[in-house]
Structure 1
């Protein structure tokens, strides 16, 4: 087993590279005398756009200067908005500037686009600008603190574009660019979080009321689509599957009755029965339904599981997953569906049936490196308070550390490193602090610490060599394990104290590193006064070795090391005052909750 399926590439790095490549390519085209792709621009105009991109990438001293720059660009572009948007570079520049444009500039742009919508909706570059523009204008209609007249005009613009696309739904649903605009319409009208708003919760978005005009037009879209003769085939095309996915999420907010009608129709007509002659299934004991043979249909099925009512969820489980779970869990393309099924299971008895079907197959699933399936099972065990003991036992068996009993103490390191018990002894020289651990493995350990009876995991952690334990808690992933250990209501006070005492002698090392300092804080916040005194005794000895490091200085400030060195009594009084203050606020918050 290895951790090859984990991807640590950071999104910010990818974005920076893409931004640089756009500018680099624009300059390259300019040197060749080619003014980008799409509609051809005059060389001077293309040069002007390149310069705008360069200035924007350099940044601005203030938001005010950025705003002045952006609005000047839109003034210079007046009457040419569609032309520029139909060019690859122009489309990129306008999309980049639109979120910072004033209301006047936004209105000029949408009026220019409304004058000739049809070709724009199918244009490979201008269509992206229309998406951004529509999203911005629609968002403004949900904002309470903008000019009422402008807001009403934004509603009109939003409805004009929505109505045009609805009237031409058959044409644009199968058009690559038009279909994406319709998806943006669905997201915007239903006020669903955009791709850039990953941290916005469904609850936060549901607080905002959807205008009746938006509700009505969304219902019209839904009514039109569901009666299409070709509806049965829509899940199997990448374009129309994506369209249905967004529509179902919008209907979840706007019209649950219509949502149920869609799910019923998909189950009865689209997702199909069993495929008898597919090559994928030749060696499988159980043939799989058609829906599992198509990636677009699979992605739609995942969304259906998210939004389905309990009744429909049970129907989907019985029709497509029952007696197929093992095959689906070990197959690359379908294991994500199993994860969704488990994540959205709300009935304890239903989950127990799912778990029992996968019970003896943890090792196969982990062997296929589908660790997400095991993680989702663990999350459901915690959420529904079910099958927790069986989960821990099965995980130990999977890593060959269940029998003999003394091998059970190796479960934490086996899961974190994602290796069998036999391989663990061969990795003693691996630097845990800097080494790459398995993300899902460390998350599963955190989950099991929050089970009702986490004693086996607690014993496993306490049995780890002190230096190795320090290195584990100094690892970017391993540092989160200590959070669960210290905060879990099911880890006893004595077990917490044992770990604090076990780590004595390592606190200077922990406090001086980036992730070790995170672990140190978790320990410090859970420690009682006696343990804190012991920790301070250790830290104050030759403190310059750790407290002058980047992260050591932060920890030294938080634990008030300078006061401790001057007067231990004053430091104690200060600590007691903070504890009383926290207790007071805790009581007040508790009363408010009641």
Structure 2
């Protein structure tokens, strides 16, 4: 192997994680050249330097492609050996997305000849995963010749069908299982990001050959005698989750059959003592982490009718216990996040609303935030939720306590414990509390939270908006659809005398920009007058310089009429930019 390393013209100096590289260098010095297949010292060191060079970055995508294909030239006739080594596998997997057609053909041919052992190989299996993902993506693109596209298609089908025909061998194998899942996701064009509510790519035309293979997987697994075992293992539960996601893109009817089977035989199956109807006994869905993860995925994929069945059979009557328990509160969060019907949400809300304090005391603020978000999303129970939170924090009565609601919620403490605001700008506020405030500012009638905010003393407002978490409240206030124009104007006037401090601080400058974006000309002129007084005291700070440039303080001090023209031109440019989006 050549010792020449392709070097890009220019590299970015970004900091990267170096733990893997550090370990690789350390073991290389001791004469250990990675786990797996043996590499000679020169090849091992070459791969180390390739990783270092890659992680430093490239000037453009073209340089990265040239770099990657030069590296692949050095692996010719060593594809399997390099892929089966700990460091070699990492390099190849990293560069494969930039490989040209000739390199891809070499790797497809090499892996095709040794599929069986490579599917279980600790390192080469990762390269095979990357290879399947790339060949499937390339086969779906119209670029390149028809022959090349067909080559990619045939390789994707070959690997997918091999694993389908040998499911018993690879389903419980850690590495083989993950290749199967990659095949399913690639064939059905499912995104790897499964955290959001929309887990799929924008629907594309899936070739019949691909959808048929996914369907075959689904039809075979649903009739497996070991189906229950699949649900109870973390590895195979992960496979079922990917299968459900894939079927949603390929065969919704088959996915629904899975949902019904899971609900009847797994999630809500009767307990050994026949106590399923007792609300004090949790269904099997909540007694195993692997089954619980499967339930959360099913909730995410279910349509309203199926969602209601999951709720009624697994959650109803047990929500308080589930929300207050560490191992199951995330399932309640998923239930709230995935709820799309107001009728279902109102039932969930009524069951939880009188026990919000218990959930808070259990430390499961994520559940409270999800309730707040569902109130906003479904335009339901917003007033009841606000009132409940005020009662929990002892801010409801007497009426003057309501003015302290925002600060109590920021800190997530009761009225009696919400003392002292001198160091509010440095204080570590409650993350979920500040997020709930931001959600409440988007409610249809956010008057309680607005009044509480506007009742704060001038200095307290400034310190809140200079806080790392508090600064985001400013954004929500100025962007809130139901926050009135007068309320915004009151806030801008109330902050008079604090704008220099806001502009000069890291988080205060964020708040300043948010307020500036909605201020009218009259208020902007007042702010500028305030900023221009001894402007050197704030405009020389790191963040003050940025704000000074954005508001053009130099032009304002020189000629106010020219500054007004500058302001109008900036506004016009923004409007045009929005139109041209």
Question: Normalising by the residue count of structure 1, what TM-score does the alignment of the two structures yield?
Answer: 0.89
Q: Given the alignment, which residue of 461, 479, 488 partners 1:487?
A: 479
The 1:142–1:514 alpha-carbon spacing in structure 2 relative to 1, beyond 3 Å, is farther
Q: Which residue in the other structure is 1:31 paired with?
A: 29
Q: Which residue of 1 aligns with 2:534?
A: 542
* Alignment counterpart, residue 502 of structure 2, candidates 485, 499, 510: 510
Structure 2 distance, partners of 1:388, 1:73, is 59
Report the alpha carbon displacement of residue 162 of structure 1 after superposing the two structures with TM: 0.8
- Report if the CA contact (8 A) 2:170-2:177 is conserved: yes
CA distance in structure 1 between the aligned counterparts of 2:329 and 2:439, rounded to whole angstroms: 20
Structure 2 unaligned runs (5+)? Answer: 1-14
Q: Does 1:16 align with 2:16?
A: yes
Give 1:505 shift.
0.8
User: 1:260–1:309: 8 Å Cα contact kept in structure 2?
Assistant: no
The answer for the alignment partner of 1:4 in structure 2 is none
Matched, 1:138 2:131: no
- Of 178-187 and 51-60, the range deviating more from structure 2: 51-60
Pairing of 1:44-123 with structure 2 (within 5 A): 44-60=42-58, 63-123=61-121
5+ long unaligned stretches in structure 1: 1-14
Could you tell me which residue of structure 2 aligns to residue 406 of structure 1?
400
Q: Distance between the aligned counterparts of 1:463 and 1:265, measured in 2?
A: 56
Q: 1:228 aligns with which of 200, 224, 230?
A: 224
Q: What's the offset of the Cα at 1:351? A: 0.8
Counterpart residue number, 1:456: 448
**Distance change in 2, residues 1:285/1:351 (3 Å):** closer
Match of 1:129 among 127, 138, 141: 127
User: Quick one: structure 1 residues 354 and 291, their matched pair in 2 at CA, closer, same or farther if it must change by over 3 Å?
Assistant: same
Equivalent-residue separation in structure 2 for 1:130 and 1:334 (angstroms): 36
Which deviations, in whole Å up to 9, do the C-alpha atoms of 1:280-333 show, x marking residues without a partner?
x9xx97110011010111111001001112111111111000000000001111
Structure with the larger RCO, 1 or 2 (CA within 8 Å, 6+ apart): 1
C-alpha distance in structure 1 between counterparts of 2:144 and 2:471, whole Å = 45
Q: Is 1:262 matched up with 2:258?
A: yes
Distance in structure 2 (CA, Å) of the matches to 1:80 and 1:452: 64
Cα deviation for residue 585 of structure 1 reads: 7.8
Cα distance in 2, alignment partners of residues 301 and 61 from structure 1? 45
Change in CA separation of 1:462 and 1:52 when aligned onto 2, cut-off 3 Å: same
**Structure 2 CA distance, aligned partners of 1:434 and 1:106?**
54
User: Secondary structure of the residue that 2:280 maps to in structure 1?
Assistant: coil
Whole-angstrom CA distance in 1 between matches of 2:483 and 2:255: 43
1:135-534, aligned counterparts within 5 Å?
135-195=133-193, 205-273=201-269, 275=271, 286-425=280-419, 427-429=420-422, 431-534=423-526
Note the C-alpha offset of 1:200: 11
Q: 1:261 to 1:40 in 2, by over 3 A?
A: same
Counterpart of 1:568 in structure 2 is: 560
Deviation at 1:347, TM superposition (A): 1.4
Q: What CA distance in whole angstroms lies between the structure 2 residues aligned with 1:267 and 1:300?
A: 11
- Please give the alpha-carbon distance, in whole angstroms, between the structure 2 residues aligned to 1:583 and 1:64: 35
- Report which stretch shifted further, 456-465 or 175-184: 456-465
- Write out per-residue CA displacement over residues 114-137 of structure 1, whole angstroms, 9 at most, x where no aligned residue: 111111111111111111121122
Over residues 210-244 of structure 1, what are the superposed CA-to-partner deviations in whole Å (9 max), with x where a residue is unaligned? 22211111111111111101112322110111001
Conserved 8 A contact 2:279-2:318: no
Q: Which residue of 2 aligns with 1:557?
A: 549
Distance in structure 2 (CA, Å) of the matches to 1:560 and 1:322 = 59
Match of 1:6 in 2: none
Q: Deviations over 1:437-484 (max 9, x none)?
A: 222211110111111111110111112222222122122321111111
- CA-atom RMSD, angstroms? 2.6
**Separation of aligned partners in 2, 1:536 and 1:147:** 62
Structure 1 partner of 2:7: none
Q: Aligned partners of 2:196, 2:440: CA distance in 1, in Å? A: 26
User: Are residues 154 and 503 of structure 1, via their aligned partners in 2, closer, same or farther at CA, if it must alter by over 3 Å?
Assistant: same
Alpha-carbon distance in structure 1 between the residues aligned to 2:155 and 2:197: 26
Q: For residues 148-186 of structure 1, what are the alpha-carbon distances to aligned partners after superposition, in whole Å with 9 as ceiling and x for unaligned?
A: 432221111111111111111122111111111111111
Query: 1:64: Cα distance to partner?
Result: 4.4
- TM-score, normalized by length of structure 2? 0.91
Q: 1:200 to 1:58 in 2, by over 3 A?
A: farther
**Would you say the 8 A contact 1:193–1:200 is kept in 2?**
no
Change in 2 beyond 3 A, CA 1:60/1:260: closer
Distance 1:350 1:65 in 2: 54
Offset at residue 411 of structure 1 (A): 2.0
Does the 8 Å contact 2:125/2:176 carry over to 1?
A: yes
Q: Alpha carbons of 1:372 and 1:543: their partners in 2 closer, same or farther (altered >3 Å)?
A: same
CA deviations over 1:332-380 (Å, ceiling 9, x no partner): 1111111111111111121111000001111111111111111111111
1:554 and 1:140 mapped to 2: Cα distance? Answer: 45
Aligned partners of 2:58, 2:343: CA distance in 1, in Å?
58
